[in-house]
Amino acid sequence: MSDWREQVPWSVRTPARRARNALASGMLAVREAPRRRSIATASPRADGLAVFYGVDRMPAADEVVIGGAVKFQLLNEELPNAPRDFNVLYLGSSSMPLDAPALVRLARRRGAAFVWNQNGVAYPGWYGGGFELVNTPRAKLLREADHVFFQTAFCKLGADRYYGERKGQWEILPNPVDVKRFAPAPGRPRRPLTLLLGGSQYQGYRFEAALEALAELRRTRPDARLLVAGALSFAPDGPAQATALVRRLGLEDAIDLLGPYTRGSAPALMRSADLLLHPKYNDPCPTVVLEAMASGLPVVYSASGGVPELVGEDAGVGVPAPLDWERDHPPGAAELAAAVLEVAERLDERSEAARRRAVERFDSRVWVERHRVVFGELQAR
C-alpha cells in the first residue's frame, strides 16, 4: 500500500503556513470583537437551560457537517443554540471554534458552566510534525472545564497520554445516534453484496484500503460493489487520484463515488448498503459506525481506537491491529476481504445484532437526557 499522507493538518506543517495561521487568527480576533462585546453585555438566562455551542448558527440538517459538529447538530434540536443568553458553554475537541479560550473567559465572567467533549488527540502517527500545536490549546480547555465527556475509553487513554490526566469531574459517554431516523429498510432488497465506505475521506489510505479490499473480495464474490460517500479530500487532486486508482484496479463497474452527503440524506445512504467498511486506524468514536449499526449494517473495521468499544462481539468483525502512537497501521486488503466474507455468511444475524446494540447502547434520547442532567446539575451550583 502506498504512503498517503493525511491532508487536514497541512496548515501547521511549515513555518509559512503557521505564519498564515497567525495572521488569520489576528483577523479573526478583529472580526469576532463585535460578537464578543454582544456576549459580554448580554445577561444569562435565569429560567432553564440555555446552551451555547460556540457558533452563532448551527448548520441545518440539509447542510454538510463532519466530525464533532454532527452530535452538536443533533443536541441542538433538543437544546437550541443560545449564543447570547447562555448559561452553559459546550465545546468539543473536534469542532473547537478558534476563539474558544475567549468564549470560556466570557462564560466564566457571567458564571456560566463550561463543559468539554473530548474526541481523539493529535499524535505523531496520525498527524505528523506539529501535533503539539493542536493538543496544547485543547489540553488547557479540558483542564479548565467543569465537566468532561470522553467519547470512549480510548479517547481518555489518548487524552491522558498527550494532555495529562484529567483531575476534575468526567465520564465516558459515547456519541449518539437517532435510532428512529437511522433504521433498517423494511426488507433486504435483492442486490449484489454492497459495501459502504462512509464518513470523511480525508485520509488516502482509507480509500485505498477499501478499493484493494474490494478487488480482493471480487475474486470470491465477483458481484460485490462499493459505495464511497464523502468528499475525496485526501489530496489537492483527490478525485483525480481516486479515479486513477479505480482504473488501475479495474473496478470502474463496481464502485460508485457519491461525494459529500448531509445528515438529512444519511439514513437513505445507509439503507443502500449491506455492511459498512471502516478501515480507519485508531478512530476514537466514529458516528458513521453508529449510524450504520442503527441502520442494520454490520461493520468490518480496523480493531483499533474506540471502534471495538462501539461494535462489540456480534455487530461486526474487526481486523486485528496494534496500539501504536508513532505510526498508523492500515488493515491489509486480504484481511479486510476475509472479514467481509465472514460477515456476509451470517449477514441477517449480524444485521440484527448491529441494530440491537445501537438501540440498547447509543440511543440519542438517552444521550440527550444525560446532557440535561449534567448541565442542570452544573447550573444549579
Q: What is the pLDDT of residues 295-315, one digit of tens each?
A: 999 999 999 999 999 999 999
Report the largest interatomic distance among the alpha carbons of the chain, rounded to a whole angstrom: 66
For residues 25-34, average pLDDT:
63
Given a contact cutoff of 8 angstroms between Cβ atoms, the answer to whether 84 and 72 are in contact is no
For residues 152-165, average pLDDT:
98
Given a contact cutoff of 8 angstroms between Cβ atoms, the answer to whether 367 and 176 are in contact is yes
Please report the pLDDT score of residue 24 as a whole number: 54
Residue 25, all three cell numbers: 487568527
For residues 56-62, average pLDDT:
83
Q: Is the pTM of this model over 0.85?
A: yes
Examine the pLDDT at 263 and tell me if it is beyond 90: no
For residues 210-229, average pLDDT:
97
pLDDT band of 4, cuts 50, 70, 90: very low
Give residue for cell 457519491: 258
Examine the pLDDT at 322 and tell me if it is beyond 80: yes
For residues 71-96, average pLDDT:
94
Examine the pLDDT at 222 and tell me if it is beyond 90: yes
Return mean pLDDT, the chain. 90
Query: What's the CA dihedral at 142, 148, 154, 158 to 10 degrees?
Result: 10
User: How far apart are the C-alpha atoms of 96 and 68, rounded to whole Å?
Assistant: 9
Please report the pLDDT score of residue 59 as a whole number: 85
pLDDT band of 348, cuts 50, 70, 90: very high
